[in-house]
Each structure stands twice: as C-alpha cells, then as structure tokens.
Structure 1
Amino acid sequence: MAENEDGTEKTEEPSEKKLREAREKGQVPRSRELATLLMTLGAALFLYFFGAGMAEDIQTIFIEGLSFDRSHAYDVHMLTNRILALVEQAIFMVLPFLMLMVLIALVSGSLLGGWNFSLQAMSPKISKLNPLSGLKRMVSMTALMELLKALGKFVLVSVVATYFLWYSYEEILSIGVEPTKMALAHSAKLILEAFIFVSLSLIVIAAIDVPFQVHQHISQLKMTKQEVKEEFKQQEGSPEVKARIRQLQREMSQKRMMQKVPEADVVITNPTHFAVALQYDPDSMGEPMVLAIGSDFMAAQIRTLAKEHDIPLVEAPPLARALYYNAEVDRPIPFQLFRAVATILAYVYQLRDGKKANKVDFENLPIPEEMQTDGPSE
C-alpha cells in the first residue's frame, strides 16, 4: 500500500482533480512493452508482405551501384549525380517502412494513457540528480518489475527461438545444398518467420505489463484521507467561508425583500412573531404575490415599514403562520390559501375605500387543515 513520506497510508482512490493535475505534469500510464510488441510485430508483418519487393529493390540498387561506365569514374559531377540517385532510390525504398514505424510509435504510446503533451514533464528537475533518490528508485517496486520483465523477455525469447530452431532444424540444414540465390531467399524466409514468432511471444509480457502499469499509476496517485478533505475544502471552500457567503446572501436577499414592503397592500401578522407582506393588483396579477416574510426581529422591521407607509396591518395568527411556513418570497401564495387571503383583501379594500368593513373572524379563516400550523400566537 502506498505511503507518504510521513508514513501516512494512501488508501483513497485519486480524485478527478488529482488525475487531471497528474496528466498536466505528464504522469500518465505508459507501457514500453506494449510499444515494443506493436513495433516489432508491425515490422515483421511489413517485411513478410513487402520484404520480397524490398529485396528486389536492394538488389537493383547494388547492381546499378556496381555497374557504371568508365566515364563516371573520372567525372566527379556524373559520379556524384549517380550516387545521389542511388541514395534517393534507397530512401524511397525504406520510407514506407519508416513511416509505418513512426505511426506505430505514436499510436502505441496513446493506447494506454491517451495523447498527452506536457511542458512540465519536459522541464529539467534538479531532484533527479540526487543520488539518494536514484538509489530509492533502484530498489523500488517499479525497478523490481522492470528486472522481472527483462528476465521474462530473455527467457521467453530464448525458449521461442530455441523451439523454432529445433522445429526448423532439417530445413536449416537443407540451405547448405541449395543454389546461392535460392539459399539466400530461403534464409531470409526463415529469419522473417523467426522474427514473427519472437514478436508474437512478446504478447505475454505486454499482457502482464499493461495492467501493472495502470495499477502502478493509480497507486502512485492515491491520496490520504486528509488530502481528500483538503482538496474538498479547496474545491468547495472552507465551512467558515461558505457560512459567511450564505450569511451575505441572506442579508442581500433580506435587504431586497425589505425594499419591496412599501409596495404591499396588506401585512398579515401573528401579531408579533410573524409578518407577511402581500400585494395584489387585479389588473396585472392573477393571484396575490408574497413580497416579504419575516419572524421576530424581521417581522418587527416589516411592521415598522408598513406603519411608515400606511400599509394596513391585519392580525390573523392562523393565516400568518400558514403563509410563513408554506409561502415563498416573490411567488404567488399557495392556492389553498386563496379564500382566506381574498377575505383579508376584501376587508382591506373596504377600509381603503372608506366603506364600513364587514366583520371578519380572523381566528377562523378558511385555512385547509394540512396548512394549519401550531406555533406562537403572540
């Protein structure tokens, strides 16, 4: 299990932030064995399908290079042109093979960790010159795994090569009695087949190395419980900061709410614990809107503003409690309270118009039972 320098065990899986930062530093899982397998196998298959054509091209280049007129030997310009032409033929002959190798190198490097370019990984690090760090790397699990892989490759390739030689023993001996040209072709064929078999044997090493590299990469990036907590604090903010932000948001919301109280048509109270300011315009509103809701000190402020702006205060404790617990600021009142609020508004409008208001029992308004909340009534 991975540990920090202070001995703390890293038991937690790396977070997305940790993986992203590691990728920015160039720390991604890579398997050299996978790249070696693909490159050797790609080279073997290319030579298997196109090796005969390349051999013919090489033969042509040698023949042309060794066959020239006497004039070429005494004319530097002609000799140079002939050499350059042969070099050009050789380049065009090996160019497809080289392009295939470059392509395989690029693709094989991205199969495990994906494409990644990091300037941080390219920058020099003085810590790598520390001999103690070098000794630590030499006795690490990664170094042990590299040693085991090297031994495994040696043993595996030796066994496969030995088996191939034993299997092709008679065919190899027959090359000695064949004509030279046929013997060369036959030898090339056997070498190519041996190359393919040895390349295929590396699948075993790659199959072991790939999951190990992924496991090693994740293990190196594992985090302690404290690191997880610290990262969470950095991303989400400390509880103190978050509490302060919430407090400021509440204060701003309350300030905006109090600024709307003067626009209210009525304030329903409990009479001291709760206060709810309502507004209703029959021409522009489908239902009454809640402008402000408060309890205790906030309720006192709402009542004070209402008195300053001559807004009617109606003591209806059951309705005030129902609105306080079920309504939301800047939203219409719950439809279940329409009848009760309509009764209050009708009462207020009669007073505003100078009419004699009908007597209303504010303690027994039509409030649904599920919205009747027990609470302070004074």
Structure 2
Amino acid sequence: MAGSEKTEKATPKKRRDERKKGNTFQSKDVVSVVLLFVAFFILNLLVPFIYQQIKNLYIAQMKKIMTVETLTVSGVNQLFREGALVFFISVLPVAIVIMFVAVIMSGVQTGFLVTGDALKPKFNRINPLSGIKRMFSLRSLVELLKSLAKVALIIAIIYTTILAMIPMTPDMLITKIDENVMFMMDQTMSMVQTVCMIFAVVAILDYAYQRYDYEKKLKMTKQEVKDEYKQTEGNPEIKGKIRQKQREMSMSRMMQMVPQADVIVRNPTHFAVALKYDADQDVAPLVLAKGKDHIALRIVKVAEENKVLVKENKGLARSLYESVEINAYIPAELYKAVAELMAWVYSTRKKENVK
C-alpha cells in the first residue's frame, strides 16, 4: 500500500528515540582508515627507535646462530622469545595510541553515546531465524564483499612489493646490515602508505553508503509522522475543542465583569468596551471587557440587562478596543476623551438620582 511506504525523512523525535536505543550512524571503515593513518604517522616517528631495535636483534641473533654447532628446540625458543620481546617493545607505543584514537573516533561518530538499551536481552538476537536472516541480508553480503576486497587489496600490495624486491635479493647478501634493515623498513612503510591511501578511498565510499543506508532505515511512513505529531502535539481535533472551551470560559468570565462597569462605549455594533473607574483604587479607568461584532452586541445586551450606561462614541470605542487589553488601564493619550465620557456618566447618574 502507498500509505505504508517509508517516504518521509525521520523527524527529530524519531532520531532522538533511535539514539536512545543505541542506533547511531557509524562507519567502521572511517575508524579503520584513521587508525591506519595514525599508525603510519607513529611508525614514521619511531623509525629510528625501531630500526635500532631490529638491528640489535639481527646482530645478536646472527652471532648466536654462528656460535652454536646445532640449533636445539630450546635455542630456537630463546631466539623466538627475544624476537617477540623486540616486536612487543616496538609495537606497544603504536598499539596504545591506536586504542585511544579508536575510542575517540567511535565517540565522535556516535556523539559519545552511552546507553544500556543495547545491553538489554532481546529475543531476536538468539532467535535462529533472525540470525539466518541477518547472515543472508543485503547488508551482510555488502560487508562480506567489502572485507574480501580489502583482504585481496592487501595481498596484492604485499605480493607486488615482494615481487619487486626479488631481483634485489643477491645485492642484499653483500650489502651492510644497516642498509638492508633500512631498505626493508622503507619498503614496509611504502607498503603501509599505499594501503592507507587505498583504504581512504574505500572509507569515503563506505561513509557515503552507510549514511545513505542509515537515513533510509530511519525513514517513516506518512501515518507514522501523523501519529507522532498527535502524540507530541496532541490530536488537532481535541486541541481545537480545548481551545474552543477555553475561549468560552474566558468569554463567560468577561461577561460576568460587564455588570460591574460604569459605562459601555460602543461603535455602534462593531466595537464595545466596558470601562470602570474607582478614584480611590484605580490610577486610571480600567477596561473590564471588550469585544467585536457579535461579542460587542452581547456586551451591550448584558449591560442593558444590568442597567449599565451605554454611550455611542465610534472613535473612542475603536481606539480603546485596539490599544488596551482586558484588565489593563487606558493609556495617557486617551485620558481626555475618557474623562469627558466619565463626566457624562456622573452627570447622567446625578440626573437619575434627582428624579
């Protein structure tokens, strides 16, 4: 069905919810290539140190081999242990830096997200059918082909490097140890550099694909977007009814204030404003209620039912309606006009009292 197609981009709420679940965008190849470049940079810095370690090991091993008549198992083990120690000492600084950079790079891509949702037990993780589906999914196939391509590239680079070195082997037998070690290290570094450059291209392509795949998975159907809006903003129909009810309650409260007014100024059907002034309490006349069109007519009707004076003044009624809020004092520029109105109110009341 067309309505069930995921055609809409993920909303901010959808992204936040997925992030809380631990579902964040991350390209492992970007992390890998950064680690390769870091390793290459560190190795370049450590070339003199590694060179000296390898040279010392080479000399020591050759001396031992030349001084013994036959190689024993224990002797070979000793040579292996010494070589492993040199390798460990040479690689340890690089390994420490790489581990630190790996954590930083993963954090940069995921925003250093720490969530326990990914650790919660989920049935589909142990369900054999789900596992088989994941194994034969398009994503798994892409990852497999990508891994095979990487291995093939590395093998090809190593093979071509060694193949190019074969003609030089006779010369290496009569060359000084220092030169041989430096030559081997140069070839190794050249090999690593080539791998880094190729993997950088792979990482760029992988980043683009992973971003596309991630955004595609986050897409929502039109119905999901509507449902989310209802959950976060509320059902539009219900909200409309609530607003209508609030307006009715506000109108009712305002109409209850009309009988307390001293005068209603009107224009004659479009605007109506209820004014009250208590010289002992108010700094200026106060607007108790105001309305336009049918609300104005209701204000006038309530006023007449409660014997509140009503005065027609088109200009003043419009000015009060447009410039003064309910329960607010009139501005200074309207003092004179309202003072004349209040004088009329007091005069009318006085006449009525005389009668």
- Under a length normalisation based on structure 2, what TM-score does the superposition of the two structures give? 0.74
Q: Partner residue of 2:236?
A: 239
1:113 is aligned, of 105, 110, 115, to: 110
Q: Partner residue of 1:46?
A: 42
CA drift of 1:283 comes to 8.2
Q: Partner residue of 1:290?
A: 287
1:25 and 2:18 correspond? no
Mark the CA change 1:89 to 1:158 in structure 2 (over 3 Å): closer, same or farther. Answer: closer
Structure that is richer in helix per residue: 2
**CA–CA distance in structure 1, aligned partners of residues 54 and 350 of structure 2:** 112
203-212 or 153-162, larger mean C-alpha shift: 153-162
Mark the CA change 1:273 to 1:44 in structure 2 (over 3 Å): closer, same or farther. Answer: closer
1:148 and 2:145 correspond? yes
Aligned pairs (5 A) from 1:180-195: 180=177, 182-195=179-192
List per-residue Cα deviations over 1:306-330 (Å, max 9, x = no partner): 44xxxx3215285697479646423
30-39 or 195-204, larger mean C-alpha shift: 195-204
Counterpart of 1:22 in 2: which secondary structure?
helix
Aligned pairs (5 A) from 1:52-63: 52-54=48-50, 56=52
CA drift of 1:132 comes to 2.8
Q: Partner residue of 1:365?
A: none
Q: What residue ranges of structure 2 are gaps of 5+ in the alignment?
A: 65-83
**CA–CA distance in structure 2, aligned partners of residues 124 and 199 of structure 1:** 38
**CA–CA distance in structure 2, aligned partners of residues 283 and 152 of structure 1:** 92
Mark the CA change 1:57 to 1:169 in structure 2 (over 3 Å): closer, same or farther. Answer: closer
**CA–CA distance in structure 1, aligned partners of residues 260 and 55 of structure 2:** 100
CA drift of 1:41 comes to 2.4
170-179 or 26-35, larger mean C-alpha shift: 170-179
Q: Partner residue of 1:129?
A: 126
CA drift of 1:123 comes to 1.7
Counterpart of 1:330 in 2: which secondary structure?
coil
Q: Percent identity?
A: 34
Count of paired positions? 327
* Higher RCO, 1 vs 2 (CA within 8 Å, ≥6 residues apart): 2
**CA–CA distance in structure 1, aligned partners of residues 304 and 121 of structure 2:** 70
Q: What residue ranges of structure 1 are gaps of 5+ in the alignment?
A: 68-86, 358-378
Aligned pairs (5 A) from 1:74-223: 95-171=92-168, 174-180=171-177, 182-223=179-220
Mark the CA change 1:157 to 1:273 in structure 2 (over 3 Å): closer, same or farther. Answer: same
Counterpart of 1:12 in 2: which secondary structure?
coil
12-21 or 153-162, larger mean C-alpha shift: 153-162
**CA–CA distance in structure 1, aligned partners of residues 128 and 311 of structure 2:** 84
CA drift of 1:183 comes to 3.2
- Under a length normalisation based on structure 1, what TM-score does the superposition of the two structures give? 0.70
Counterpart of 1:135 in 2: which secondary structure?
helix
